[in-house]
Every structure is written in structure tokens, then in C-alpha cells.
Structure 1
Amino acid sequence: MDYFLSLGSTVFVPLVLLVIGLILGQGVLRSIRSAVTVGVGFVGLGLAISLISTILEPAVNEIMQRFDFNLSVIDVGSGAAAGITFSTLVGALIIPAVFILNLVLLLVGFTKTMNIDIFNYSHYAFTGAVVHLMTGSIVLAMGASLIQATWSLLSADYTAKRVQNMLGVDGISIPQGYAASTVPLFALLDKLYNRIPFLRNSKLDLTYLQGKIGMFGDPIIIGVFLGILLALLAGYNFTEGANLMMGVVAIIVLFPRMVKIIVEGLLPISESAKKFFNKYFKGKEVYIGLDSALTLGLPVTQIVGTMLIPLTLVLAVILPGNKVLPLGDLAFIAFFTCMATIIHNNNILKTAISGIINMVIVLYVASWFAPYFSKLAENSGATDIKGQTTALWNGNVFDYIIANIGSIGYIGLGILVIITIPLGLYVKKTVAKE
């Protein structure tokens, strides 16, 4: 299992796409070219993400020290959280279990997505590990994990066409464990915004901004101002501030470039899939489920994500009952709001409002999970931090709902199954209408 996970998305995803390309009749060399191109894109995306760690995390730490936020639960970040989760019994079983479930759901037509984003199965494992702590039952724990995996697939189906239109490539979807969990919230908020004249008529996307305020609406110029704001909050001198500002702009510029490379590799596979399913399955669609990192190529996501860094710190301090000190995941807030950009069709105002609302929920849910996560971390020996720990990564609404209902026992698991069936039918009906 360790070896399987150690391959990383830059190797594992291309290997899976190579096999898919061969099955779809793309030919050996074309399949290799498509798969490796996607792998190169993921390497580039990884380098761009490492910029966030290198450039933004030190600034976040400086802001923390300057303002001396008095919060008791430390956010250890998504990397540590995933590692702790995979070290549990549920984590050891989750990959084959979800893979088999996904194949069964595809065969019976309950989903159109084949989730090859293996490394984010950790979200499902976390839910199961918490249920295991609560009940002591591995059956209930695995049941809860598989329910969440199913909800993520349905969420991916629901947003697939919007994702494809926004990114410009057919045949993909986003079932990533956290991103999928935000879809119901953002979809409900979008319906609410459409009832408010000011928001319904809002055209505040980047094109509209540039038409109204010229170069001030350019993503690079916005990045300059955001970089300067973070530098001022961190108390940086000119040299440090200039480097931070250039890093923020680089993040905003580089992510779309890297995603374009991934899309270049996916397009031939998408075309082959269309021909294959039209020929052998009477036009039946199957989506390749990928990581939400693909959506970070949208400038609105990066701009709003960077704006939310200082705003999340403010929320953490002023929200009554919040215990979490955002730290490890704070620089990666763009991942928490990426599906809002998709659902709100690149509207900056709606995405920003939804992002703030979502971060409020994240802080409260991550606070609730802190005792359970701390126990899992203690059992794994993965952290020597004294006191309670959590991760913003834990602020997952699907985790929260399923863990609470699943902890009731087999009755709770039955309730989750009963909820899931009409959910699937609703998604199928909605997708058919679209």
C-alpha cells in the first residue's frame, strides 16, 4: 500500500490514463504521449503548489506571530492529515474498497464518474476512521467511508458539464473528497443569489472588471496588490515584500499555464472516449474523475483564494466558539473555494461571498473534529504537538454529516443509504435536464 501511494499523482495518473488510452483504441504512441503530457502538467502543477509553500507559508507564519492569535487547536495541514488518515485500519482498506464500489456503481448506471484521484481517497478514510473511533465497528466505519465516496461521485456528476465547459475539455469531472463536499453549499447559495437583484444581475468577472477599470482588473495587477497587502500584514521589509509580491503573481500566472498542459494531454483521450462509447455503448458517457487542482488554473479561484487568507484569520479570531488556529492549510485556501468559481461561472463577487461563508463552516467543523483527529494523530505517532490538533482539511461537511449519522450504529448506516438513493436519482434527473 505504501509503495502504491508513493508513486504520486505524477506517475500514477499517467499510468491509469495510458491504460485508458489503450482500451479506447488510441494506439500505443498516442496513448503514451497523452499520458506523459498530463504527467508533465501535474509536475508543473506540483511546482506551482510548492510555490505556495515556499512563498506564502512563511508570510502566514509571520502574520500569526505579529498578531499573536490566542487559539488552542493547531491546524497541522492537509499533508499531515492525509498521512495520519492513511495510517489507520480504514486507510489501509479504503483504496481497493472504493475502487470496487466505483466500478459497481458505474456498471449499474448510478454514476458516470470513474474516480482515479486515488490520493484523495484519504477524505473518505478520515470519515471512516472517526466512525471507527466512535463505534469500534470496522463494518460501520467502512460503510460510512463508502457512503462518502458515493456522495463525491454524485457531486462530480452534478458539476461535470460545468467543469468541462469551464476548463475546455470533455469527459472529466471533479470527485475530489473536499471539493465535492462544497458543491451542495455553493449550489444552494447560487440559487439564493439569483433571488437577490444586486447579486443576480452581477457581472463581476475578470472580463467585466477589465472593461470597467482597465488594467486594474488584470489578474497580474490584482496579484501585485494582494502581494503588497500580505507583505504589510507580515511586516516585511522591501526585499521580503517584493519577493512575496512576485511569488503571489507567479502563482496566479503559472497555475493556468500548467493546467493548459494537462488539458492538452486530456483532449485526445476525451475524443477517443467519445468515439469508443458511441461505437460500443450507444453514446453512454463515462467521466474521468480528477483532482480539484485542475480548477486552480482559473484566475478567479487564485485571486479569491489569496484574498481569503487574511479574511480567514480574522474569522478565526472573531467567530464565537472557534478553537482552530489556521496554519498548515491557510496558504492553500484556493482549494477550499475552487468549486465556487465553477458554480458561480467565474463571478468574483459571488465566489468571494461563498468563500467567506464556506470558511466559517470549515472553522467550526474542523473545531468539532479536533478531539477525534487528535486521537488519530496520537495513535499514529505522526505528530509531537502538545494539545489538540486538527486541519482545515477536516472542515468537510460530508465528513461531519456522515460521521454524526454513522455513529448511531446500523440504523444510522441505513439512514445514510436511504438518503443516498434519492440523492442519486435527483442528480441523474438534473444532469439529464441539463
Structure 2
Amino acid sequence: MDVFTDVLVAVSAYLSDLGAAITLPFLIAVFGLILGQRLPQAIRAGLLIGIGFIGINLIITLMAEQVGPAAEGIVQNLGVDLRTIDVGWPSSAAIAFGSTIGAVIIPLGLLVNIVLLSTGLTRTFNIDLWNFWHFALVGALVAAVTDSFWLGVAAAAIHIVVVLALADLSAPWVQKYFGFPEISFPHGTSAPYIALAAPMNWVFDRIPGFNRLEADPAAIQKRFGVFGEAIILGFVLGLLLGIFGFGFDDPRGDSIAILTLAVSLAAVMLLLPRMVSVLMEGLIPISESAQAFVKKRFPGRKFYIGLDSAVAVGQPAVLATSLVLVPVTVLVAIALAPMGNTVLPLVDLATIPFIVAIMVPIFRGNIVRSVIGGAIVIGLGLFIATATAAQFTSIAAGAGFELPEGASQISSLVDGANPLTGLFFGAAGLGGWTIAVLGVLALAFAWWVSRVEKRRDAARLAAERSESEAAGQT
């Protein structure tokens, strides 16, 4: 048993070191071969996806390096005590894979996914194995709270069920808005926010005046012309963030830092969509092959390919919303400090696009709605991150993670502030029996989503028949 565990730990550590930019291309190439693609086609698709991910990560890293110091400057200038440091998703992933749950998460995730596919409780086949770390992190938190490895494993499995169901539920929005046929996002960061965005959008639709506000990128650019372009928005936000973060104590040095930040954010607005287009060039042939494979071998059944929501972060409304939310998030964290928030958003400010990736389609690309909705969910999430910080820090120490200098506790905006993290953490605090209750509720939720999907299919087929009959009559 020890040898088996050691092997699993070694595999998890290796995948963590490789990262998504290496792991996913290999899996995509293998998946392409299974779908019947020729070897050169499969290799090309995998490499393009890998290149796209490397480009996306480089740009997000650039954004994090530029935005983090400005955010720290704003907090210091206002004299607010935010002692829990946001170490970002790369550290969170390393911590998750380095935990005891991380050692078994990949075989566990594949097993749960296959069982749900075979029973019809999901349509999503999640090939984004590297991002299984999200499930491992939640499992590790539950294991730490309950002092039980097996309850942690159970929580990770239940988390997978919930995220797959949310991916199925949000798939129509994702496919229609982004133009991704047969794709879903079973991403631990993005998927949970459908549960908050959908009711908020229902409320927004019923606010007189506000429900008629057009604020998608096209409408904004039409109203403001060149000043509504994405790169101008990035530049202006960079200037404002830099001015408030760096000030002018050192006119020469601070002006350089401000202008560098402004041009860097303008570059992010231009380059990130282009990197996503490279990634999509590799993804589209795989998606087409998958559709043909399913239609031939499973007539009458429908499957989605589960992918990293990184494929959506370059969409103009997602990117614009995220940049506006960078300073808003810092201000929200400061405003909530007297109410108990201790988290200083830093590294994960650059990964806000993953938080809003599914929210934006639900808000129909409306940037104003997306910013308001994003600010609300992030504000609530900061309290979750504060509540889980002690256990998060304990898990990090157990995985060998060294705390940043001067930090007493750490957390993450991406997963530490996630609503599902809060749900599982809160349930575990009530006792181990609550994990069993969550398991029953998760399966019931997956069953309900499968019924919703069938009703959607029936409505779509009825609409297609009506269109066909109308065309025949003309």
C-alpha cells in the first residue's frame, strides 16, 4: 500500500511540476488519436493548445507582476491591516497536489467522471486533468477540519459531482456566447459562480431602467469610439491604478512605474485574446472530431468536452470586466476590513477572468452587470477566504510551502474565496455526517440537471421541427 501511495504522490508531484501547458497538450494529442485523428493532426492540435496556454500564462504573469505592487501600495497608503496574503493559484495548485488528497485526486476524478457518464448523470467528459487540483484542495481542507483522510476523499469526489453538474447546466450559455460547440467548463474556479450569477441576472432584468442598459463591448465602443477600445480601457485603468498605488513621492521612479503598468494592461487587452485564438486553433479540430465520434458510436446521446475556462478569458467582455474589477476588488477588500476581512488580494487579481468567465455569458456580455455581479461575489468570497485562512495555511505548511515574508496566514482569491470552498468548509465544521448529506444532495442536483438537459433537448428539437416545417411550406 505504501508503494502504491508513493507512486500516486510521485505522479501528482510530476503533473504539478509540468503544469497545464505541458500536461493538457499531451492529453489532447492522445484524445485526438482516440477520436480517429491522424498522428500529425493530433500532435499539431496538442502543440497549438500548449502554445496558447504558455502565451496565456505569460500574459497573466505579466499582469500579476504589474498589478500586485500597485494593489499593495493602495492598501499601505490607506493604512489598512490586511494580514492574510493572497498567494495565488500557482501556489494553491502546488499545495493541493502536495497534500494527501492530491496523491489520489486524478484516478478518483476519472473514476467519478466515468461513473457519472455511464449513468447519464453528466454529459461532460472532463479532460482537464491538471485542474483536478481544485478538487484536491477542497478535499484537503475537509480532511484538515475533520482530521479524516477518507472524509477528505469523499468531499473531493462530491465536489467533482457538483462541478460536473454545474458545467452541464452552464454549457448552453458557454456554447452560445463564446461559440464553442459541445464544450463545457468543469473548472473549479469558474463553474460555481453560475449559482450566483443566474439569480442576480434575474434581479437585474427586473430593475426598471437598468434592465435596458446596453453595456457590451460593441455598444461601449459605438458610444465612445476609439476611447471605448479595449487597449484604451486597459491603459486608462493602468494609469488610475498606478497613480493611487505608487503616488508621486519619487516623480521619476513613480512615473515610470505608472506608465509601465498602464502600457502593460493595454498589452494584456490586446495580446490575451490573440493567445486564446491560438489555443482555439488547436481545439476546434478536436471538438469536431469528438462530435463525429459521439454521433457515430453513441447515436442519440450528447456529450460535452470539459475544458479549462482559460479558453474564454480573452473574450472582450470577460477581459474588460476583469480589468475593471482589479481596482474594485482592492477597494472592496479595504472597505470590508472593518467588517472582518483580513485578505489582501494580490497574485490572484490577475486571475479574475476565471472567476467571471461563466458569469459574463449569463449577463449577456453586459460589462456593467458583470462588474457589479463580480464585485458582489468577490466581496462575499473574501469572508470565505478569511474564515478558511487558518486551515489553508496549515495545509500549505504540511505540503512544505514556505509562507511569504511577514505573512502570518495565506489564502487565495481563486479557491480560498470560492463559494463551494465555503460550503464544504462550513459543512465539515458541523461534523463528518454533513459530508454524507452533501453527497446525497450533490447526486440529487446532478439528477435534476440531467432532467433540465433533456427538457432543453426536447425544446430544441421542437423548434428545429417547426423551422423545418415552416421552410417546407414556403
Aligned to 1:248: 265
The letter for the 2-side match of 1:288 is I
Quick one: distance in 1 between partners of 2:425 and 2:403? Answer: 26
Quick one: distance in 1 between partners of 2:403 and 2:65? Answer: 23
The letter for the 2-side match of 1:360 is G
Question: TM-score by structure 1 length?
Answer: 0.94
Aligned to 2:383: 364
The letter for the 2-side match of 1:265 is G
Quick one: distance in 1 between partners of 2:120 and 2:88? Answer: 36
Aligned to 1:167: 178
Quick one: distance in 2 between partners of 1:263 and 1:285? Answer: 21
Aligned to 1:178: 189
Aligned to 1:62: 73
Equivalent of residue 291 in structure 1, options 300, 308, 312: 308
The letter for the 1-side match of 2:101 is V
Aligned to 1:86: 97
In structure 2, the gaps of 5 or more residues are 1-10, 249-253, 457-474
Counterpart contact for 2:120–2:450, Cα < 8 Å = no
Equivalent of residue 232 in structure 1, options 243, 246, 252: 243
Q: 2:357 matched to 1:338?
A: yes
Aligned to 1:380: 399
Using a 3 Å threshold, how does the CA distance of structure 1 residues 387 and 311 change in structure 2: closer, same or farther?
A: same
Quick one: distance in 1 between partners of 2:234 and 2:391? Answer: 38
Equivalent of residue 104 in structure 1, options 115, 118, 121: 115
Aligned to 2:469: none
Equivalent of residue 128 in structure 1, options 116, 120, 139: 139
Counterpart contact for 1:52–1:332, Cα < 8 Å = no
Segment of structure 1 superposing worse, 35-44 or 352-361 = 35-44
Segment of structure 1 superposing worse, 372-381 or 60-69 = 60-69
Quick one: distance in 2 between partners of 1:378 and 1:4? Answer: 20
Deviations 1:95-116 (A, max 9, x none): 2111111111111111111222
Quick one: distance in 1 between partners of 2:452 and 2:209? Answer: 27
Q: 2:10 matched to 1:3?
A: no
The letter for the 2-side match of 1:214 is G
Q: 2:343 matched to 1:324?
A: yes
Q: Name the % identity.
A: 35
Counterpart contact for 2:81–2:342, Cα < 8 Å = no
Aligned to 2:470: none
Aligned to 2:222: 211
Aligned to 1:32: 43
Quick one: distance in 2 between partners of 1:60 and 1:242? Answer: 15
Equivalent of residue 187 in structure 1, options 194, 198, 201: 198
Aligned residue pair count: 434
Quick one: distance in 1 between partners of 2:255 and 2:84? Answer: 33
In structure 1, the gaps of 5 or more residues are none
Counterpart contact for 1:144–1:406, Cα < 8 Å = no
Deviations 1:7-46 (A, max 9, x none): 2222211111112211211222222222222222112212
Deviations 1:301-323 (A, max 9, x none): 22221222222222222221212
Q: 2:428 matched to 1:411?
A: no
3-state SS of 1:288 partner? strand
Equivalent of residue 208 in structure 2, options 197, 218, 240: 197
The alignment yields a C-alpha RMSD, in angstroms, of: 1.9
Using a 3 Å threshold, how does the CA distance of structure 1 residues 169 and 331 change in structure 2: closer, same or farther?
A: closer
Aligned to 1:148: 159
Q: 2:282 matched to 1:261?
A: no
Counterpart contact for 1:144–1:403, Cα < 8 Å = no
- Larger of the two Rg values belongs to structure: 2
The letter for the 2-side match of 1:403 is F
Counterpart contact for 1:75–1:328, Cα < 8 Å = yes
Cα displacement (A) at 1:410? 4.9
Quick one: distance in 1 between partners of 2:67 and 2:318? Answer: 16
Question: TM-score by structure 2 length?
Answer: 0.87
